[in-house]
Structure 1
Amino acid sequence: MAINSRVTKDRYRELIPKVQKKLSSWKAKKLSLAARLTLVRSVSTSISVYSMQTEMLPSSVCKKIDKINRNFLWGDTEDKKHSHLVGWKKLLEPKENGGAGLRSLRHSNTTLLAKSGWRVLQEKDTLWTQVVQGKYGRNREGCAWNISNGKNTKFWTDIWALQVPLKDVAVSPISEMETQKPVAAYMNDDDQWRVELFQQWLPTDVMDKSTTIATDPLSTEEDRLYWQPTSTGDFTAKSAYRIAFPAPQTTDRQTWKAVWNLQVPKRVRHFIWLGLLHRINTNKRRFERHIAPNPFCPRCVNVPETELYILRDCPTSLFYWTREVSANNMVDFLTADLDKWVRTNILNTKTDSNGVPWASSFSIALWTLWKNRNEGVFNDGSKFLSPHSLRHAIHLKVNLWHYAWMAPSPLQLRGNRKPDRVEADVGWSAPPRGWCKLNVDGASQENPGKAAT
């Protein structure tokens, strides 16, 4: 196929079975929501990166792959559909906005093309860059110039002093000849601005800000193009994505940041995330969607199973909380609505006598209460733990996960020193007659030390 042929869905049809193969349906049954989100994110960013940096993929291909990702995430198969607890648009929002930080394939494609555009601006002396700029122009959204000698940056049309070109804030029209002048044209050899040459076009505040930028017209160092959205000035796909597809602003970034920074396993964080979005698949929610025979709590009689009821107000859950929360805080703890209840507790900075953060204990308790509820529901009630056993199970999980979280890594134990690598020839000999030899691969940490095969 010719390199300049028209882009069609047939050219990229092989991408779809590749994604389907990586996200096979049986994997969804074995993975938690957190693991499925991680796998979707990994697959979406690894599929045909080269192609997405050079061409805009057909819309039909992007939509099909996004659909495969959605179905895998929620466990859909050709024979059975499951509840999609969170809408696709919400999943695409940043984590600090309450989303999952996923990206649609179309958006990823656009961002990777922007990366190629950044190369065009950086590699200005190459032939391919000159051809592209001659055909498509010099649109530099997100780019700005770091001034040195001021000879490569146009004073009026490039971005260097403000977030927009100076011509966009001029108080009167500027001639075409004037707009072609570089920054250095408005400086003298003593590094002083020749204000009289441009003050007639600029508002006073803009002029004052522009003239605070230091330049050196006699310097041999050229102006450098940098990427404004990052502190280092280097292009990143993440920052380009935020510019091209800005997310709606949220006033609760502190809460979402606390969710994703909880010192608990990822599966627990994602459960808390679902709770704050009111997307836990309770019987009440399932009944409203016509997929459950009744809305009631599986442990109680004729009491609707809401998120707040199953996690706090159900007698089994209440047994745990009344023994963990101090009497002084009990009234507020038991009367808050779901949003306030979860937010208050995950933002709580207190720790217990063992150094375990309350936010971690609270989150693990919610997840364990829900997990035990599911084990009982899907095993005809045989797996429901008694209130005392459930409390013991929560304490055990809290302690185990806290100690695992706080445990130093092997590198920290060795003072960040990597172990010396020892290579040795290993020969093989046949076993004695009547014996069978099984060869396996193995590794050991130190010698002697822990070993595994």
Structure 2
Amino acid sequence: MKILLSPGQHENVWMWRHEKNGAFNVRSGYRFFKNLTNGDTADSSNAYEEQKMWKAIWKMRVPNKVRVFAWRACKESLPSKYNLFKRKIIDSPACDFCNNSIEDVSHAVLQCHIVKVAWRQLVPALTFFPELCTVTEAIVSLLHKGDQGLLSRFFLIAWSFWYRRNKWTIEHSLLDPLQAANYAISLQKLVIPAPATKPFNAETGLLASSSYWVLQAKC
């Protein structure tokens, strides 16, 4: 963190270091995290900020399987129909529920019309997300809000929708999305908060204290 001191009595403001004007916007945040998930961590500040993202995921008060899901969703490494289609394992990447969209991870847990209805009921604060919001874009917006509890709730619900998807794909057992989500949310009460210092990083498992923001004196 860099602190620029002002000689006068002025209020300090947070500045987003990845925009010249210091103002955060979802497009800038998404571009930054997209570079991270593509492995672009050569710059030291990017490495610190990537660690900040994984630290936020590790600190979530959720079962470990949900943290692993969150990591894999960010890396787009879950066995979605799109990923299986790219590897020539299946013949079609179409979503089993709506049949007219490609099922990547973001579609399965955010964009499919069935789960979108559930999202609106379960987390009204997420209704500002754009129509084709990805998991990474969602994380950018949630981190900007600074609400760790909302981040945990988001991934619990997203995990429940992925679990529901798998039950249908593997067992042809259809679960109600609201029931699945409410069950996942109830698991949060049984979880002991994870220690903030426990290592968890996308590539190495390491954490480091960092900030996405620069504290600048308002002149």
The answer as to 2:193 corresponding to 1:395 is: no
Of structures 1 and 2, the one scoring higher in RCO (CA 8 A, sep 6+) is 2
CA RMSD of aligned residues (A): 2.6
Q: Secondary structure at the residue paired with 1:252?
A: helix
Contact 1:255 1:343 (8 Å CA) reproduced: no
Aligned to 1:404: 190
Residue by residue over 1:370-424, the C-alpha shift from the partner in whole angstroms, topping out at 9 and shown as x without a partner, is: 1111111112x2x121xxx32123112212x2221259xxxxxxxxxxxxxxxxx
Q: Secondary structure at the residue paired with 2:136?
A: helix
TM-score scaled to structure 1, two decimals?
0.31
- Choose from 347, 361, 368 the match for 2:160: 368
Q: Secondary structure at the residue paired with 2:129?
A: helix
Aligned to 2:119: 321
Q: Which has the higher helix share?
A: 2
Residue by residue over 1:157-206, the C-alpha shift from the partner in whole angstroms, topping out at 9 and shown as x without a partner, is: xxxxxxxxxxxxxxxxxxxxxxxxxxxxxxxxxxxxxxxxxxxxxxxxxx
Percent identity between matched residues is 20
Aligned to 1:253: 51
Unaligned runs of 5+ in 2: 1-35, 194-219
- Deviation, 1:342, is 2.7
Distance in 2 separating the partners of 1:347 and 1:376? 34
Distance in 2 separating the partners of 1:292 and 1:371? 20
Contact 1:348 1:359 (8 Å CA) reproduced: no
Distance in 1 separating the partners of 2:97 and 2:132? 22
- Deviation, 1:285, is 0.9
5 Å matches for 1:431-442? none
Distance change in 2, residues 1:347/1:368 (3 Å) = farther
Aligned to 2:136: 339
Contact 1:346 1:363 (8 Å CA) reproduced: no
Distance in 1 separating the partners of 2:144 and 2:63? 17
Contact 1:258 1:347 (8 Å CA) reproduced: no
- Choose from 83, 89, 108 the match for 1:310: 108
Distance in 2 separating the partners of 1:363 and 1:338? 10
- Deviation, 1:319, is 1.6
Aligned to 2:88: 290
- Choose from 163, 174, 181 the match for 1:384: 174
Q: How many residues align?
A: 151
Residue by residue over 1:182-240, the C-alpha shift from the partner in whole angstroms, topping out at 9 and shown as x without a partner, is: xxxxxxxxxxxxxxxxxxxxxxxxxxxxxxxxxxxxxxxxxxxxxxxxxxxxxxxxxxx
Q: Secondary structure at the residue paired with 1:293?
A: coil
Distance in 1 separating the partners of 2:59 and 2:123? 23
Letter in 2 for 1:320: A
Unaligned runs of 5+ in 1: 1-96, 99-246, 352-356, 408-453
- Deviation, 1:347, is 6.3
Residue by residue over 1:45-89, the C-alpha shift from the partner in whole angstroms, topping out at 9 and shown as x without a partner, is: xxxxxxxxxxxxxxxxxxxxxxxxxxxxxxxxxxxxxxxxxxxxx
Distance change in 2, residues 1:397/1:326 (3 Å) = closer
5 Å matches for 1:67-106? none
